[in-house]
Amino acid sequence: MAAMANFCLVFLVLVSCAMLPSLILAQYIEPSGTFIVHVSGSHKPAVFATHRHWYAAVLRSVSADPSQLLYSYTHAATGFSARLSFPQAAVLRRIPSILSVLPDQPRQLHITHTPHFLGLVDTSGLWPNSDYASDVIIGVLDTGIWPERRSFSDYGYSAVPSSWKGICEIEPDFPASACNRKLIGALSFYKGYEAALGKPMNETRESKSPRDTQGHGTHTASTAAGSVVSDAGFLSYARGEARGMATKARVAAYKICWSFGCFDSDILAAMDQAIVDGVNVISLSVGATGFAPPYDRDSIAIGAFGAAQHGVLVSCSAGNSGPTAFTAVNIAPWILTVGASTIDREFPADVVLGDGRVFNGVSLYDGDAFLDESDYLELVYAGDCGSRYCYEGRLDSSKVSGKMVICDRGGNARVVKGYAVKLAGGLGMILANTADSGEELIADSHLIPATMVGQIAGDKIKGYVVSDPNPTATINFRGTAIGSFPPAPKVAAFSSRGPNHLTPEILKPDLIAPGVNILAGWTGFTAPTDLDIDPRRVEFNIISGTSMSCPHVSGLAALLRKAHPSWSPAAIKSALMTTAYYLDNSGNNITDLATGEQSSPFVHGSGHVNPNRALDPWTSVRYRPK
């Protein structure tokens, strides 16, 4: 009996010890996340029929549920993404066949007349010599697409190219008819996004389909390859013809960005699929926040290298973190990295002070014209009224009501500042740049009469408020102006810059292209300001960012791909860089709006894109990835 008792005691101790981890786990759940696992494809054991079977076995080996596998990558990269605990990820890093295990990182979006500004005409040069990029396929990885826009009309298009292997995803709000001979494919990628959320997305706020509910993707797609629309415009501004760079190119939309970001696992899956589908150019106006990560930890760089190996050029935005140095992202040597510049079209809205001085500004305000040159309002500075940045709810209405308010740029969205002034009873706003933005002027569709002025003008206007006992001002809205003053192009202050902090000997950005006040298609889901308080809906919108400059170059790359079908991605990139220019339309060196001084190669790269010269460059390089 004593022996039996000892046996039972030992048994109970063993069972209790075995149960202890479970009891602990019941109180403490190991932290987990989504990881991207890059593997050496040549190490796949022969016992597994496919890489996906191998990946499932790898997950089981670390006690991970194979159902947690989100994507399997084959072309843009070799590997998979899955939900893992941090200890499981650590174990995977010790397996010889696994090259790296990287946390899934969120990326951010970097948010007409430009063909004429770029010298593109129907009679000579790149357009007729490339047949407008007919049958070249541009894969746009972004927030999706609003397929009903006229920019995606397939009128006059021939059959879909036989090289296209993709599909059109059909969802309740995205019927089969959404795709046509222009928009030939559309897919959505959200597994990484929902894994990061930890729950399904809110489908009352965003569409779980390729449909664009943010506007960014529709804008970039129509910039790269929009069909000709003869009577385009935004409200009363920029009226005329709108067209993409490559008007006959086909569009494939890959939705990778959602309300709370764009995740690496989804981006890499979309790049992988785009290669399989047969795209010729990938346009990606998305990037990291902060400094660019090392190439071997940057999913966009890894995917772009895989794309280059398959003959697909990847064009990316440099980012909107200027004017600080070393801020450019997407800086891998095989990526075409694009900064932002101005064009020769302005939307002037000048500040007229009570003492007669006039300061140039810009605006897209299109409301009731109760402010004109005879309507002078008392002028106050928001810094004297509770909030220099005009934060909502912080302005003293007793000091603001019925007046024109000067708000400093920064801290919150530019259009939201005007709304804050309106809530406090103000009747107008002057948005003044600070040192960070210098003389960069961005036109916004304000909700109240408002304009933006540069730092120099802003300082003088604020000085007037201090020195004059009865300061007053009005705004003179002058519509759309095209001409050689002010000179263009200039480098946008927000455009991210080099030097390249990873490989300083390689110039980044590669070049600049139009990215300020760009007219292109827009979603029907949200307002032009992307604010819930704005009830307006428009077919076209005018916005700014390197997100806008990137698709310009993506479209130009498609034109060169058609004109020179034997050119590699590196040859196309070289042609665009070696033919870029660095003089504005007044014959002077391109200036930097952040400083007002001459720009440098670390700011504008090799220069401003010059598509007609790129058709027949003097020099080019050949690159064959091993």
Catalytic residues: 142, 216, 547
Burial of 106 (0-12, 13-18, 19+ CB in 10 A): middle
Task: Provide the Cα torsion 514, 520, 525, 530; round to 10°.
Answer: 30
Strands 404-408 and 518-521: unpaired
Cis status, amide bond into 611, omega within 30 of 0? no
Buried b (16+ CB within 10 A) or exposed e, 20-50: eeeeeeeeeeeebebbbbbbeeeebeeeeee
Q: What is the largest CA-CA distance in the chain?
A: 110
Shortest CA distance to 190 belongs to which of 172, 167, 206, 175? 206
Phi/psi of residue 451, nearest 5 degrees = -150, 160
Burial of 251 (0-12, 13-18, 19+ CB in 10 A): buried
Task: Find out whether 135 and 161 touch, Cβ atoms under 8 Å.
Answer: yes
Shortest CA distance to 254 belongs to which of 212, 226, 222? 212
Shortest CA distance to 76 belongs to which of 249, 335, 338? 335
Task: Find out whether 491 and 590 touch, Cβ atoms under 8 Å.
Answer: yes
User: Helices in 178-215 by DSSP H: which ranges?
Assistant: 191-197
In the numeric block, which tokens belong to residue 591? 């200036």
